[in-house]
Amino acid sequence: MFKKLICTIIVALTALTQIDLVHAQSAGPGIFDGQTDIGSPKIKGGTVYNTQSQQYTVSGSGTNIWADKDEFHFVWKKIKGDFIMRTNGAFVGTGKEDHRKFGLMVRKSLDANSAHVNSVVHGDGLTSMQYRKVNGGTTDEKKSDIKGADVLQLERVGNTFIMSAARKGDVFEKEEKLDIDLGDEVYVGIFVCSHNPAVVEKTVFSNVRIVKPAPADLVTYKQYLGSSIELLDMGTHNSRIIYQSPKSLQAPNWTKDNKSLIYNSDGFLYKFNLATSTPAVLNTGKAKNNNNDHVISFDGKMLTISSGDGGSSKGYTVSVNGGEATMVTNPKAGASYMHGWSPDGKYLVFCGERGGEYDVYRIPANGGREERFTTSPGLDDGPEYTPDGRYIYFNSVRSGLMQVWRMDADGKNQTQITSDDFNNWFPHVSPDGKSIVFITFLKSEVKPGDHPFYKHVYIRTMPVGGGPVKVVAYLYGGQGTINTPSWSPDSKHIAFVSNSDLLFSAFPKAKN
């Protein structure tokens, strides 16, 4: 009888232990594999994932992340090799402790004393890179010059970790770097620590991304990473992934009826139904091998597209619902890349290669004589009309780096709009005529006359007449991200493409 009672107690204790373990290390929400309390916080943490906004509200207690062991709540994914991890973060409420923490973390294991590196924001605004190089070792930190960062990025290249931080709307400033060997497979994710075992703190994480970047030996324009189509709220700067594919998807246009996006992939144009998250091939007739220069007319009825079937790219027009395409550019001239319609539908503007020079041209929408609008040596590209028809925005290398310029609708009075230390491409004017967005490449990664795939880029915005420039999206992308106008009809959202070699089950996928 005694033995039987002991066995019963052991079974019961085992069951209780298993229940506790399940609670402590449960399935991860959204893009993550799991979540757990690291160490033994007195109050258990947890995560609420909003499937609509794709935001994570993480609750965490714990004494600290410091010295030789840690207590906090961790939402994680196991990953191998190089990666880029990024998030926006904001504490909920005023908080109890100055050193409450949220951030991004990479751990060798889920043990409390594991070696790790993290990018962290404290309650008092201190932003730093903290790390423990060996299991059970002491924790050190590198303090950032940024105070109260809202945006964090933690990247691994080999055994080098790179932390970048910014306040929302600003570009990343000075990087912090650390060499540490955590092994090939690591736990990466988001975390919260209250710095007080009797308190629970909450943080809302937005734009959480784990990116597998292009390998060093990737052959561009022959090999491609997967793509995500994202919709960005221009008010909150929160972005939602609405579709993923292992193929290269590029340059989403937003249709005027607010029902679809039009993008290109593998030489075809696709119409993506926003209500059902499904794409369908758009018939363009004889225009084959379509590239990422395609624009919807202001009345929403027509497309101008660029097709390179059997030679260099030529300009066509076709119904927005598909049909037989009509060539409008000179078939005997050089390459033509279509970028804009005039609001009255009478003219098209494009980047044309003529005699080795790339310039901005205008041509009647039904075809005819083309007019050259730019003559400066070097690349002039991406022309696009304002909704009132008064101006054409474009980008040019004439002042050194690639910058945004503006001219009158007849090509006169060409004026530089941006003058910073970046390469700025493809300005797109909002339908309400108040703002422009454009893609920004780092001059350390990209030459002024190039806009390649798979780079660290920003999407930035500014008033249409010039003024303060703000970052609205931090991402990994480049060519195909935002080559064409992609504003929603109400000017409240834009569509763009980001890239990664890692896709997630949390989002709609291409079937093949």
Rounded Cα distance between 306 and 295, Å, is: 9
Q: Are 426 and 437 in contact (CB under 8 A)?
A: no
User: Which helix (DSSP H) or strand (DSSP E) does residue 480 occupy?
Assistant: none
Token pair belonging to 502: 């890692």
CATH, range 2-211: 2.60.120.200
Q: What are the percentages of helix, strand and coil residues in the chain, rounded to 5?
A: 5, 50, 45
Q: E-strand spans in 250-397?
A: 250-254, 260-265, 268-273, 278-282, 295-296, 302-307, 314-319, 326-327, 336-341, 347-354, 357-364, 371-372, 380-385, 391-396
Rounded Cα distance between 371 and 377, Å, is: 17
Please, what's the b/e burial string for 191-227 (b: 16 or more CB within 10 A of its CB; e: otherwise)? bbbbbbeebbbbbbbbbbbbbbbbeeeeeeeeebbbb
User: How many CA atoms, within 13 angstroms, populate the side-chain half-sphere of residue 301?
Assistant: 4
What pLDDT sits at residue 27? 84
Helix and strand element counts for the chain (H, E): 1, 40
Please identify every stretch of the chain with a pLDDT value under 50, giving residue numbers as ranges.
1-24
**What is the sign, positive or negative, of the torsion defined by CA atoms of 112, 117, 121, 123?**
positive
What pLDDT sits at residue 309? 72
What is the residue extent of each domain of the chain? Answer: 2-211, 227-500
Rounded Cα distance between 407 and 199, Å, is: 58
Q: Are 319 and 296 in contact (CB under 8 A)?
A: no
pTM: 0.94
Place of tokens 């990024």: 86
What pLDDT sits at residue 466? 86
What pLDDT sits at residue 465? 84
Residue by residue, what is the 3-state secondary structure of 327-348?
ECCCCCCCCEEEEEECCCCCEE
Rounded Cα distance between 313 and 373, Å, is: 20
What pLDDT sits at residue 206? 98
Match domain 227-500 to its CATH number in 3.40.50.1970, 2.120.10.30, 3.10.20.30, 3.40.50.1370: 2.120.10.30
What pLDDT sits at residue 24? 46
Rounded Cα distance between 292 and 264, Å, is: 6
- Read off φ and ψ for residue 450, nearest 5 degrees: -130, 150
Rounded Cα distance between 223 and 208, Å, is: 26
